[in-house]
A and B are shown apart, each in its own frame.
Chain A
Amino acid sequence: MREASRDRLKAFLTLLPSIILIGVFVYGFIGETIWTSMTDWGGSGSLSLTPEKNFVGLANYDELFTGFLGGGFRQDLVNAVYYSVLLLLGAVGLGLFIAILLDRKPKGEDVLRTIFLFPMSLSFIVSGTIWRWLLAPQGGLNVLPTYVGMEPLSYQWLSSTAAILEFNWQNLFQILIYVASFVMILTGLWMLKSNSRRAVELWLIPGIVLGAGAWLFGGLLPEALFMEEMHGFNMATLGIIMATVWQYSGYTMALYLAGFNGISQDLRDAAMLDGASEVGYYRHVAIPMLKPITISAVIILSHISLKMFDLIFAMTGPDNAETGHPALTMYLTTFRANDFAQGAAIAIVLFLIAALFIVPYLVSQYRQRGRH
């Protein structure tokens, strides 16, 4: 018995260095960054080992969200949100599509899988350098149509200054409520078939009420900014999104393929015997069964898009406002402008958005493990 408890102690002591490292380098550092974001660390003398830091509360966040100079950051944030959503739709959609095609076991499946997955192994700097050349305004993709006898394109992939889906930041609260109501109505419609009572009571009616309320009484909501400020989806980001989808749809494909292979042939045969068509099999059997995989893919891709730095750096350089991203702004603010406090505040905003996805995911994973 004493032997066993000594072994348990050894096990714990083996883990201890890692616990300390993670404790300090992850949790301690996050705490340190939160603290830094509430100080005025920056400017001259900021590079000393013991810089002067004075507590300023939430002033840095206030500056980012309501200040005059924060406008660039707000545009970056909007850009990052559009970027994440489009990357998710693109990479999950395309990856799923390819996985379904490869699940038919065509000849040469191995080679094809390798081709679709190889971009994933590359560094973002490598792929960014190549894509920058591919998206050069008078060459690359834009001249491809000339090979089939058409006019070349003239799209400014990375430097277009056009923006679509613009909105006024002043109406931010109203827009957020619209988005929430839209998501609730969608969830309700999606659940309508399986659990119609809950769908109507919990999602559809509250969603419609919320949306209507925001539409009717939106004027009563406080304005998020003291002046009109338009933000939208910068079209130049489209090139970055294309490159990221190219690099990451192979990843979702691999996840889905592994999932499809895990579904037993019996189940598949049973579905076919029940008269399910190929489309019906994927829609009603395979894809619902792979919901955990979809969730994993969404979590990992949104994490990647939130911290995206390398690819944008390599494709447009760090200073291109049209393809701005908070991750780049954080780098420029911190290491070029030496405004450490402001950089920390940007990092915390990114962190909080990421935590919004990750914490529920990890908690549910933890609960699942407990059940086994």
Chain B
Amino acid sequence: MTNKITLGSVFLYGTLTIMALLFLMPAYMAVVTALKFPADISLPTAWEFPAKINWSSFSTAIDLLKPNFINSIILTVCATIGSTVLGSLNGYVFSKWKFKGSEVIFTLFLFGMFIPYQVILIPLFQTLRAMNLYGGLAGLILAHIVYGLPITSLIFRNFYSQIPTALIESGRLDGAGFFSIYTRIVFPLSIPGFVVTSLWQFTQIWNEFLWGICLTRHADNPVTVGLAQLAGGQAVSWNLPMAGSIMAAVPVLCIYIFLGRYFIRGLLAGSVKE
């Protein structure tokens, strides 16, 4: 390994450094603004680090968003578990128990992942109202489970297709049936699949906004809706929305930073590559 400084490596590291700084700029701005006292926030000095640090924005933001956080946690945990478990079973059938037409059904499932959700919004609104689920978390959980099925089935299908069919066959020779093959052979091998899928679903559901604002009443708003209300309006003092943004981002950022490997696998799976 040589440590020669060439024009090429100067260009490489120079460009990467500048780009990295540009990408971090919004994060820096959010942190700096969140740490200022409202009186110290002014447009021309927005970039400067605060002279006196004000931590109270965070606790105020948490207080204001607390009900939303609780809603989002309930929503995300329930919907993630539901869609992941169903996705695992679907993936098992799609990869190991193919039947005539199962590939067509799988493709029809995938279509549900790519529709602009506006197209199902009005019937969803009416249906949830008719089921008495409109406005509360239960309706939102149902929606997230159903529309999460395409991506979770896709990730598990691709994951299970790596399990050798011979393993399934030998299980069958031992007299295991559909469910016992799943519980004894497939499920124990699925832990990474469950991690990838549930992390993906967790971030997606945590970040979702359109259904949150259209399908829940005020008391059941998830955190994204709460944040939008906190930041909305013209005369906001910007330390609160910034602190709220950081708090709302912390759960997904933690997943991303500490379990990034799995997050990227989910992201790659979403591009339908086999």
Contact = CB atoms under 8 A, between A and B. Distances in A.
A157 to B, nearest CB: 13
Interface string B228-269: 100110000010011011001100110111001001100110
A307 B118 contact: yes
A134 B260 CA distance: 27
B121 A347 contact: yes
Interface in B131-146: 143, 146
A300 B270 contact: yes
Contact of B107 (A14, A300, A365): A365
Contacts of A124: 207, 209
Interface stretch (B21-29, B51-59, B184-192): B21-29
Given A33-B123, A296-B271, A365-B107, A126 B249 contact: yes
A32 B124 CA distance: 10
Given A18-B90, A143-B44, A314-B231, A29 B124 contact: yes
B97 A8 contact: yes
A251 B267 contact: yes
Nearest to A327: B118
A258 B116 CA distance: 27
Interface in B15-52: 15-16, 19-20, 23-27, 29-30, 33, 42-44, 46-47
Given A351-B119, A362-B110, A3 B177 contact: yes
Contact of B93 (A15, A22, A133, A343): A15
B272 A130 contact: no
B73 interface: no
Contacts of B27: 118, 130
B132 to A, nearest CB: 10
B149 A129 contact: no
B interface, size bucket:
35 or more
Contact of B114 (A118, A127, A358): A358
A133 B242 contact: yes
A199 interface: no
A367 to B, nearest CB: 10
Interface of B: 12-13, 15-16, 19-20, 23-27, 29-30, 33, 42-44, 46-47, 86, 89-90, 92-94, 97, 99, 102-105, 107-112, 114-124, 126-127, 129-130, 143, 146-147, 149-150, 153, 172, 177-179, 203, 206-210, 214, 224, 227-228, 231-232, 238, 241-242, 244-245, 248-249, 252-253, 255-257, 260, 263-264, 267-268, 270-274
A344 B107 CA distance: 25
A302 to B, nearest CB: 10
Interface string A19-32: 10110011111101
Contacts of B118: 307, 309, 327, 330-331, 346-347, 350-351
A22 B43 contact: no
A11 interface: yes
B116 A303 contact: yes
Nearest to B225: A125
Contacts of B209: 123-125, 309-310, 313
B114 A370 contact: no
A21 B146 contact: yes
B271 A366 contact: no
A123 B93 contact: no
A293 interface: yes
Given A29-B120, A129-B231, A123 B248 contact: yes
Contacts of A369: 103, 274
A7 B116 contact: no
A122 B179 CA distance: 38
A12 B179 contact: no
B20 A115 contact: yes
Nearest to A144: B47
A310 B149 contact: no
B261 to A, nearest CB: 10
